[in-house]
Structures are given as structure tokens and as C-alpha cells.
Amino acid sequence: MALLHRRPNPPRHSSYQRYKAYLREDFAYTCVYCGIHENEAGGPRYFSVEHYRPKSRFPALTTSYPNLLYACGVCNSYKGDDWPSDDPLTDGEGYLDPCEHDFDQHFEPGRDFRVAGKTTVADYMIRRMHLNRSMMRKIRRNRQEEAELHQQFVALVERNLNLLSAALGNAALLPQQQSELQQELDTLQAQLQRRTAAWNERWEPMFSMDDYR
């Protein structure tokens, strides 16, 4: 996960919960720690406004937008008020702010759909927030399998489209045969377009903030 960015000037609110709608968009409807998407978790109801620096220890930052993140309820619960260091890179324990630290420099894919730490602080976060909990490993496996199936489908359809296009170039075909081949080609093209559109939209939010009111 590359460096993330919050919007620079959100409207000001006296309650940090009022920032949830903005944080959803800023962090692409995804938990900044484990990477689970709202669509995989059941919607924004299962996500929290996360205080990077815990509000119990830094009350002055309770409604400070630069201190707010979007996290699933599980990661938010595991992190809680834990704050072992103000300088996690030096001390080797604590938490990295994804808007200040490129997580790709600290985490990498591990074996058996686990995430592995490249740094000591990353190892701390993995342990503390259970980033390799069974649910996340299943989600990572499902994502990979879905990507492979999508690629296989696209390759198969494109191969058949090429064969049909070549067959339509046969001058010996009867008009009825040409019509049937053209109809089959059009059907495959429509299927590919629908599948591609669905794949590109898979991370569009399926839920709104009003779904649970």
C-alpha cells in the first residue's frame, strides 16, 4: 500500500464522528491497516474513525483531521489506546501513519497469504493488530483466485474473438453462416464488456452512510 493522502481542508466539526464520510473517500473505503474493503466487510457500519494518536492520551487531537484515519472495527479494537512510542521507526515498536510512511517499504506479501514485516515496527503492528488473522488470509486468497479467474476468462474470450474474426474473413462462407458467426462474436464482445465493467467497478462502494440509519 503506497503512501496515502487525506484531503487538506475538510469542513470543521466538533465531533470526530462527523468526519467519517470524508475519511471513507480519502482512504478509498478501505481499512488503512489490514486493507479490507467495505464491500468485503459489510459496509461502513463495520468501520471506525481511527485516532492515529489515541484520543485518551492526546485529547487535543480528538477532532484534528490530520490525526484521523479510516479503519475496520477489528483493527481499531486491537490497536485501542496502545501507544508505546512517539518515534516508532527509531524504537522499533508502535504504529506507522500511512499518510507519512509508505507501507510498501515496511510490509510485503508473505507465505500462505500472510503479510510479512520488512522492519521491526511493521512486525510490531502485525502482532498487535493481528494483521494475519484467518479472515484476512482468506480474503487475500479469494482476491488472488478472483484475479486469476478474471484473467483466464478475458484470455479465453479474446482468443475466441480472434478465431471468430478470422473465420468471418472466409469468403467461402454462406450469408447464413456469416450472420451466425457475427451474432456469436457480438455476444462474446458484450460478455467481455460486461465482465470488464464489473471487474473495474468491484471496489466501488456498495453501501452508503444512510444504509444503517
In DSSP notation, 138-206 reads: HHHHHHHHHHHHHHHHHHHHHHHHHHHHHHHT-TT--HHHHHHHHHHHHHHHHHHHHHHHHHHTTTS-S
Per-residue pLDDT tens digits for 42-86: 999 999 999 999 999 999 999 999 999 999 999 999 999 999 999
Note the pLDDT of residue 213.
55
* H or E element that contains 124: helix 120-128
DSSP percent split of the chain into helix, strand, coil, nearest 5: 55, 10, 40
In sequence order, which residues have a C-beta less than 8 Å from that of residue 54 and are 6 or more positions away? 80, 81, 82, 83
* H or E element that contains 74: helix 73-79
Say whether pLDDT at 10 is over 90.
yes
Per-residue pLDDT tens digits for 131-185: 999 999 999 999 999 999 999 999 999 999 999 998 888 878 888 888 988 999 9
Neighbours of 66 (CB within 10 A): 13
Instruction: Indicate the pLDDT class of residue 95, thresholds 50, 70 and 90.
Output: very high
* H or E element that contains 72: strand 68-72
Say whether pLDDT at 37 is over 60.
yes
Taking residues 12-37, report their average pLDDT: 96
Cα 57 from Cα 65, distance rounded (Å): 16
